Every structure is written in structure tokens, then in C-alpha cells.
Amino acid sequence: MKRRNQEDFDILKKREMDMHPPYGQLMNPVQPIAWQKHGREMLVHSRFILEKAKLRIHPSMTKLILSLKTAYEVNGLLDKQVTLHNDIYDSFIAALRFYRFK
């Protein structure tokens, strides 16, 4: 009986793995972003989303709000000398890259 139950468990486990692959297989690997190529596009896209009020930012995100307030653009790229917390701003516009609004 134990042998039969073990076989059933193996079959169920295989079926479960076929239906739901492990978490690592579901996610795409990290892909680098060519900022020189896509930076302007992402900056314009994030500006569009913010100007059209398509996104709400929770007040507890103080560093993000501060970086958005101090963001300064030069020739279509973010001026990192003037912008505070520019790494947070970079991750913000990179995250918005996949959201499209009409």
C-alpha cells in the first residue's frame, strides 16, 4: 500500500509541476536596459503617465516624490547632477516601461 501511495504522490507531483512550473521558470531573467537607446523614450513615457494622472504614488514614498520633484531633463535625458535620488527615479521609469495607456 505504501508503494502505491508513493506512486500516486509522484504522479500528482509531476502533474502539479507540469501545471505550475517553479517560480524561477515563470519569471524572465533580468534584462539590462540600454539607457542611451531607451532613456529618452522611458523619460517621455513616464512624464506622460504622470501628467495624465494615470498613476498614484503613496505619500509614504518620500524619496520617489522628492526625486520626481527635482528631476531635470537635458537633451531628453535625466540630469543626474541635479536630480535627488536618481537611482530611485531610474528604477521608477524602468518599471513604467511595460505599462501602456491610450
Contact 46, 96 (CB under 8 A): yes
Given this model, what pLDDT does residue 63 score? 94
Q: What is the largest CA-CA distance in the chain?
A: 74
Given this model, what pLDDT does residue 59 score? 94
Domain ranges of the chain: 35-96
At 41-59, the pLDDT tens digits run 988 898 898 888 888 999 9
Q: Pairing mode, if any, of strands 73-74 and 77-78? A: antiparallel
Helix (H, G, I), strand (E, B) or coil at 6: helix
Tell me which amino acid residue 18 is.
Answer: D
Q: Which three cell numbers stand for residue 101?
A: 495607456
Given this model, what pLDDT does residue 19 score? 65
* Distances 5 to 2, 8, 38, 61, 98 between C-alpha atoms, Å: 5, 5, 55, 52, 46
Give the C-alpha separation, 13 to 27, whole Å.
Answer: 21
Nearest-CA neighbor of 81 among 92, 90, 70? Answer: 70
pLDDT less than 70: residues of the chain:
1-9, 12-13, 15-30
